[in-house]
Amino acid sequence: MNVLLTGAFGTVGRHALAELLKAGHAVRALELPTPGNQASARRLAAPGLEMAWVDLRDELAVARAMEGREAVAHLAAVLPPLSDLQPELAQAVNVGGTRNVLQAMKRAGARRLVYTSSVAVFAREQERPPPRRADDPTGWTDPYSRSKLECEALVRASELEACILRFGAVMPPAPPGADFRVALRMAFEIPLAQRIETVDAGDAGLAVANAVSAPDVGGKTLLVGGGAGSQLLFRQYIGDMLGALGLPMFPDEAFGSEPYHTEWMDSAEAQRLLRFQRRSWADFMERYRKERAFSRALTKPFGPLLARYLLRFSPAWQKRRLTSPRAGSSTS
């Protein structure tokens, strides 16, 4: 099948690209012509792969990239925290770009669309107990989730043979794309008791690739999570990640108390149709710790000192210090 893949060199996109090529599809990979992306294209040169250097906001360029394509896997988007810092950009790329993709598909006669959305579209406070299901209420809480909900509505109204995949917390997380301090502040706002379901980026990429040609997925919204072995609390998530980097756990008081949008998900239907779940949280952490072994050895001796520095970016910790002069003297 001739496939257009947007966001081909992103955290999930590069895995989707590899799986699509492995399955024998001819892939036209759409990306921005940044030096990093162009370097990736040179490394990934392979039979069946063609590049299209296109900004999704360029309607005519998107239409040209669509020529001769039968299916689209649309992953490209502006993610947090950049979407929070530049909401107009997020709206133009995420919503405007998706509108351009849909219009180009109709003109080219392409019918199959896989659109990637996020667990972020679920309202933060819900009466329903876990797991979250595809038909649970949704609600936007930031520019990113708002754009994703708008895009989902556009996809459903398109009359295409479309499948929407809502990802859990993809691991490893995408690079912040903005000042790391913004991403750090966001992490500190998540309560330690918050439920979170991760999904390995490779597994998410496989789900995308399989959805391109899988029968019986048209018109469905599927939740793509790692399954029971990837369902944990944020306390374990952040503690394991910090430990892999050679850093101690932050004090409980450094974290927020307001509900966040992550949740355990019912991914049974997605797994039945797409057969993508291969790696659990434990599997990811084993690989991640090995990859970070050298940097962890360098960081660990300075862990407590570095942790105290990072605590400066916790809104809750800074508020506590203002109200209690003796607070903040320890990181344990």
Per-residue pLDDT tens for 31-81? Answer: 999 999 999 898 887 888 999 999 999 999 999 999 999 999 999 999 998
In this prediction, residue 11 carries a pLDDT of 95
Cα–Cα distances in Å, from 306 out to 6, 187, 199?
38, 16, 29
Cα–Cα distances in Å, from 82 out to 58, 177, 186, 252, 301?
20, 6, 12, 27, 32
Residue 326 has pLDDT above 80, yes or no: no
Non-local CB neighbours of 227 within 8 Å, separated by 6+ positions: 267, 271, 277, 280
Identify whether the C-beta of residue 106 lies closer than 8 Å to the C-beta of residue 250: no
Listing DSSP states for 31-73 in one string gives E---HHHHHHHHHH--TTEEEEE--TT-HHHHHHHHTT-SEEE
Strand partners of residue 2: 26
Distance CA 219, CA 230 (A): 27
Non-local CB neighbours of 207 within 8 Å, separated by 6+ positions: 165, 222, 224, 270, 274, 276
For residue range 88-132, list pLDDT tens digits in order.
999 999 999 999 999 999 999 999 999 999 999 998 878 889 999
Distance CA 235, CA 40 (A): 35
pTM for this predicted structure: 0.93
Strand partners of residue 195: 233
- Exposure b/e, 200-224, CB count within 10 A at least 16 = b: bbbbbbbbbbbbbbbeebeebbbbb
Nearest residue to 256 (alpha-carbon basis) of 323, 187, 311 = 187
Calculate mean pLDDT across residues 280-294.
96
In this prediction, residue 176 carries a pLDDT of 64
- Domains of the chain are 2-176+199-230+262-279 (3.40.50.720)
Q: Order of strands, edge to edge, in the sheet holding 169-171?
A: 169-171, 195-200, 231-233
How many other CB atoms are there within 10 angstroms of residue 73's CB atom?
31
